[in-house]
Amino acid sequence: MKTNPGNYFEDFRVGQKIAHATPRTLNHGDVALYQALYGSRFALQSSDAFAQAVGLPKSPLDDLLVFHTVFGKSVPDISLNAVANLGYAEGRFLRPVYPGETLSAHSEVIGLKENSNRQTGVVYVRTHGMNEKDEQVLTYVRWVMVRKRDPEAAVPDAVVPALATSVPAQDLHLSPHLKFDALFDTSISGSKHCWDDYKIGEKIDHVDGITVEEAEHMMATRLYQNTARVHFNQFSEGKGRFGRRLIYGGHVISLARAISFNGLANAHIVVGINGGRHVNPLFAGGTVFAWSEVLDKQPAGHRKDAGLVRLRLVATKDLPCSDFPDKDANGAYPENVILDFDYWAVMPRA
Amino acid sequence: MKTNPGNYFEDFRVGQKIAHATPRTLNHGDVALYQALYGSRFALQSSDAFAQAVGLPKSPLDDLLVFHTVFGKSVPDISLNAVANLGYAEGRFLRPVYPGETLSAHSEVIGLKENSNRQTGVVYVRTHGMNEKDEQVLTYVRWVMVRKRDPEAAVPDAVVPALATSVPAQDLHLSPHLKFDALFDTSISGSKHCWDDYKIGEKIDHVDGITVEEAEHMMATRLYQNTARVHFNQFSEGKGRFGRRLIYGGHVISLARAISFNGLANAHIVVGINGGRHVNPLFAGGTVFAWSEVLDKQPAGHRKDAGLVRLRLVATKDLPCSDFPDKDANGAYPENVILDFDYWAVMPRA
Amino acid sequence: MKTNPGNYFEDFRVGQKIAHATPRTLNHGDVALYQALYGSRFALQSSDAFAQAVGLPKSPLDDLLVFHTVFGKSVPDISLNAVANLGYAEGRFLRPVYPGETLSAHSEVIGLKENSNRQTGVVYVRTHGMNEKDEQVLTYVRWVMVRKRDPEAAVPDAVVPALATSVPAQDLHLSPHLKFDALFDTSISGSKHCWDDYKIGEKIDHVDGITVEEAEHMMATRLYQNTARVHFNQFSEGKGRFGRRLIYGGHVISLARAISFNGLANAHIVVGINGGRHVNPLFAGGTVFAWSEVLDKQPAGHRKDAGLVRLRLVATKDLPCSDFPDKDANGAYPENVILDFDYWAVMPRA
């Protein structure tokens, strides 16, 4: 058979290394489409002049565009037969990516655990994104529930990797060329609030809502060359469990991150992903809102110009966030909460 | 509060200067998206080879893309709490903008007039668009009706600026590098009709109609980083006065301008905006048509290769324009007319 | 009249040459939009690094993006008054096109045949796409049924050109710089199946389906500056024969080609178009599937690194292709089959 059937749970082995197909050169067209799809306004990614004023050669690509591109490469090998994308951990962005760079990806299987019904199992992979010079730009772990081809197939003993609850601050990468104090004008960035102004425990309602259309999430997901079928095929999904196309979870992350500009305008760079769960599905026609919580603050090494802030980004559908809708004491989420994402960002200090 | 509440009417003062946030580098991706959203065919903006043949280094960005980008910057400070965008005047495009340039914007408040109900007031601003070398690329006046935070708040005495009915031809800028006679082949530009062929008072039905989808106007408006909430949030707008998302008025200007190619193919450059009113709202699913009227013709200084033409561009929804639908004797517009826009364009002479 | 009424059947003459308007510079933005609209994954067009590894300076534009752009130029002169686009033949891609090149087009009328009802006639044109150096990048024949302005108008005697059933393999162009054996890693391209692995008569179900939205096909068709009115105007089409906007047939070709990656990942380049028919219309909301048949295999001159494969690409709407839905013994197509396209591709040899 010449078409790719994807891997099933019993095809994976711990320690297996998989080179993913289709390297992808990202360019100014991807930047503009990302802009048109999400409406992001972080100055560093929006303006070459701003980027140069703080020490970079030009605007880097949005970190999440890099993430989605690397993630997309892994789909045909890892999650074509997935039931659900369960979580992320240990994500680190290791260097800025600029227009013209070519990204490729490879993964290592680091854990496997069959489910008790023997129909499915959880696959843990560590995925690495590389540029065309074979420099690593991103690494992260994700785990995903994958169907078995044959429920009776024998599988190896369970291996569940020990994953960090969050990426330690000292392991995060911040470009040494970036100098926020060189020329940081908060009237240009859209907010005067810098690292020192945020308190641990503080919650921010990002106020704005964005309704998602079918054309938008499909264009985004194709831009990332993500081939998961649930996003594109109304003919088959119309007969499936939701009766509709499911929106790629990463689309929600990018929408929520763009919405979070209103309240976090100086959180210019995502440097780490501590965790993330897509706790409910989103469908076209839904309106996405978001709120953030400051989980932690750490210095960025010995730097005086920048600090690290650990943020929890919660997205909802059709539910404004002035009341900070959240999971209950048992960890159960209301049906309108769709994303719980935990990341590290870099902010300038005052 | 770390989110931007926007300014209310009583927050403005005549003479106040506001630097708008988020400079934006426009690039080839923006050019392609603008193409995909409107389908423009003016040769100067479509073809580097054509632009070079008439003396420019390459195709400049569409003038309206520059306008929308500068306009978008001003929204969070000027019109986040606006009820309606009332008009434009004294717009001048001062130099071509090329892919790779970074636009920023600042405004000066030039007028304020509280409405008699004390709920709202009209704010007049002169907005300037600059490139990364701090060269001015655009200036225009707009006025907008803005809510008061507190109807009881005291406000300064009314100041209403005297605005020109139209920009005098001698104040318009035309690049000295542009030489239409250098190599102007009308079979390439799509029409043999040049400046000398148009008569004052002449009306042109542009024939074609374009239906607008939600995904399109939202992608456009996010491309311009325009954050006005009425365009994006079906959850809240569904409960609002229209029950629907309102399409950014600038989207209509760009659609009508692209449609006007059919009849005005040689009106290559917009150099001035004399006025403009969004006289009725447009919603997704509506089909936009347009017609033009030649209001004036003027020489372009001492140039023999080019002339100025003042055009009125009227757009409708769900109404073909063979009968040139227009305001009545009292200045009232039929409900299918959505735009009345008055601008100066440059055309080659025969 | 200053608007373009298009040519009617009686306006054409055999031997007539028509220079089409509006040259168009294609750039990285067009590449990204093409990616977002179709989700193509062929490595040569996706990755500059891959392209360089096999001898090209960078990724060329997708061949079909070049085709649609050249085709779009011809619409205002050839098919504005068309009833139907009937077929393609003798298509040859003559050199790679790279971002930054400017395409223009001209056509020659090579055949005319009035229909017996005298309402319409078939116009045959050979269209040439040129880059800004006046080098030919594409040539193809298409024929189209065009309305007569006046059914009574006298027309010349019928001339029906003799067209090749397929382009002879020796007439196809393959860049001498391209060296698949230089560094061809099938784990990068997404499939280990090369030219030698395909058999004449083999059929491949490409499995995946993509649902099309109105915003997507309109953005695509405007990107190509294709002005055919049936694609854009719901107000008029709502009253027409289908009650809906008709999707540009080329959009279906590009979707089916992108879908065909799953099974033909190494068919990197389209070098010839032998024929093509849009056998049923597609409307928004339909889900496109595709299957391919290997019609022929030929060596690529004396090259050992690459071979030519002639493929039939059949697209359906709302009908998966595991049973290879096809025309019947009388040549009649089921209503769910929408495209029957015959082309030559280049594949690496093992």
A100-130 per-position pLDDT tens digit: 999 999 999 999 999 999 999 999 999 999 9
CB contact under 8 A, B3 and A30: no
Distances in Å between the alpha carbon of A74 and those of A128, A197, C67? 10, 39, 31
Can you give the residue ranges of every domain in chain B?
1-26+61-163, 174-350
Chains touching B by CB (3 or more pairs below 8 Å): A, C
Of B27, B32, B191, the CB nearest to C223: B32
pLDDT > 70: percent of chain A: 100
- Structure-block tokens of residue A31: 């930047």
CB A94 within 8 A of CB A129: no
Is there a contact between A21 and C187 if contact means CB atoms under 8 Å apart?
yes
Which element (helix H / strand E) includes B66? helix B63-78
Average pLDDT value over all residues in chain A? 96
Q: How far apart are the first and last CA of chain C?
A: 60
Arithmetic mean of pLDDT, C283-310: 97
Instruction: Provide the H-helix boundaries in C91-196.
Output: 186-189
Q: B151: number of CA atoms within 13 Å, CB side? A: 5
Torsion of CA A231, A237, A238, A243, to 10 degrees: -80
What is the average pLDDT across B294-312? 97
**Contacting residues for B237 by C-beta, under 8 A, at least 6 apart:** B230, B243, B244, B245, B246
The interface pTM score, or ipTM, of the predicted complex is 0.97
Residues β-bridged to residue A98 = none
CA separation for the pair A6, A224 (Å, rounded): 18
- Looking at residues A198-208, what average pLDDT do you find? 98
Pairwise CB contact (< 8 Å): B33 & C30: no
- Measured between beta carbons, the chain C residues lying within 8 angstroms of A223 are 32, 35-36
> Nearest by CB to C211, which of A22, A223, A235?
A235
Residues of A with CB under 8 A from a CB of C: 2-4, 19, 21-25, 27-30, 32-33, 76, 99-100, 102, 104, 132, 213-215, 218-223, 225, 227, 229, 232-236, 245
Q: Which pLDDT belongs to residue C184?
A: 66
Local structure of B131: helix, strand or coil: coil
Place of tokens 């055009």: B311
Asked: is C167-350 a CATH 3.10.129.10 domain? The reply is yes
Partners of residue C33 in chain B, C-beta under 8 Å: 32-33, 36
Q: Which two tokens stand for residue C327?
A: 């025309």
With a cut of 90, say whether residue B255 has pLDDT above it: yes
Mean pLDDT of A302-314: 97
CATH fold of A27-60+172-350: Thiol Ester Dehydrase; Chain A (3.10.129)
Chain A hits for B17, Cβ within 8 Å: none
Tell me whether residue B302 is exposed, middle or buried, using C-beta atoms within 10 angstroms of its C-beta: 0 to 12, 13 to 18, 19 or more.
exposed
- Closest-CA distance of chain B to residue C11, Å: 17
Name the phi and psi angles at A76, rounded to 5.
-60, -25
The mean predicted confidence, pLDDT, of chain B is 96
- Across the interface, whether the CB atoms of C28 and A29 are under 8 A apart is answered yes
Nearest residue in A to C213, CA atom: A215
Buried b (16+ CB within 10 A) or exposed e, B213-227: bbbbbbbbbbbbbbb
Please state which CATH number belongs to domain C1-26+61-163: 3.10.129.10
Q: With the CA atoms of C298, C302, C304 and C310 taken in that order, what torsion angle do they form, in degrees rounded to the nearest 10?
A: -20
Q: Is B266 a residue whose pLDDT tops 70?
A: yes
Question: Which SS3 state, helix, strand or coil, does residue C198 take?
Answer: coil
pLDDT at B84: 87
B166 DSSP 8-state letter = S
- Per this entry, what is the length of chain A? 350
Quick one: pLDDT at residue B184? Answer: 67
C-alpha C245: how far from its chain's center? 20
Task: Using only the alpha carbons of chain C, give its radius of gyration.
Answer: 20
**Alpha-carbon gap: C197 to the closest alpha carbon of chain B (Å):** 39
**What is the average pLDDT value for chain C, to the nearest integer?**
96
Distance from CA of A128 to the nearest CA of C (A): 15
Of A60, A72, A61, which Cα lies nearest the Cα of A223?
A72
Q: Is the dihedral of CA C13, C19, C24, C25 positive or negative?
A: positive
User: May I ask the CATH class of domain A8-18+78-163?
Assistant: alpha beta
DSSP classification of residue A10:
G
| Mean pLDDT, residues C126-144 | 98
| pLDDT above 90: residue A94 | yes
Q: Is the dihedral of CA C138, C139, C141, C144 positive or negative?
A: positive
Residue with tokens 């959009």: C251
Local structure of A236: helix, strand or coil = helix
SS3 of A307, please? strand
What is the phi-psi region of residue C151: left when phi exceeds 0, alpha when psi lies from -120 to 50, beta otherwise? alpha
- Partners of A39 on chain B (C-beta within 8 Å) are 221-222, 225, 227, 232
Which of A181-195, B106-120, C86-100 shows the lowest mean pLDDT across its residues? A181-195
Q: What is the pLDDT of residues A263-303, one digit of tens each?
A: 999 999 999 999 999 999 999 999 999 999 999 999 999 99
User: Any bridge partners for residue B203, and if so which?
Assistant: B293
Which residue, among B35, B322, B336, would best test binding to C if mutated, counting the most C CBs under 10 Å from its CB?
Answer: B35
Task: Give the DSSP per-residue string, B266-332.
Answer: T--EEEEEEEEEE-S---TT-EEEEEEEEEEEEE-TT-SSEEEEEEEEEEEES---TT-----TTSP
Q: DSSP letters along C300-342, please?
A: -TT-SSEEEEEEEEEEEES---TT-----TTSPPPTTEEEEEE
* Residue linked to tokens 């499911």: A246
> Which of C12, C123, C8, C138 lies closest to C68, judged by CA?
C138
Give the pLDDT mean for B169-190. Answer: 88
Range A130-133 contact pairs with CB under 8 angstroms and sequence separation of 24 or more: A130/A103, A130/A104, A130/A105, A130/A106, A131/A95, A131/A97, A131/A101, A131/A102, A131/A103, A132/A23, A132/A101, A132/A102, A132/A104, A132/C48, A132/C49
Question: Which residues are CB-neighbours of B309 under 8 A, at least 6 positions away?
Answer: B195, B198, B267, B294, B296, B297, B344, B345, B346, B347
Which residues, in sequence order, are bridge partners of residue C121? C114, C146
Please say whether the structural domain B174-350 has been given the CATH code 3.30.70.1290: no
* Alpha-carbon span C295 to C200, nearest angstrom: 6
Q: Which residue has the tokens 């989103």?
A: A282
User: What's the gap in Å between the CA of C225 and the closest CA on chain B?
Assistant: 6
User: Which residues in C lie closer than 8 A to residue A24 (C-beta atoms)?
Assistant: 46-47
Shared fold status for A8-18+78-163 and A27-60+172-350: yes
Whether the per-residue pLDDT at A181 is higher than 90: the answer is: no
Give me the sign of the Cα torsion angle C248, C250, C254, C259.
positive
Question: What confidence score (pLDDT) does residue B186 get?
Answer: 75
* Beta-strand pair A120-130/A210-211: unpaired
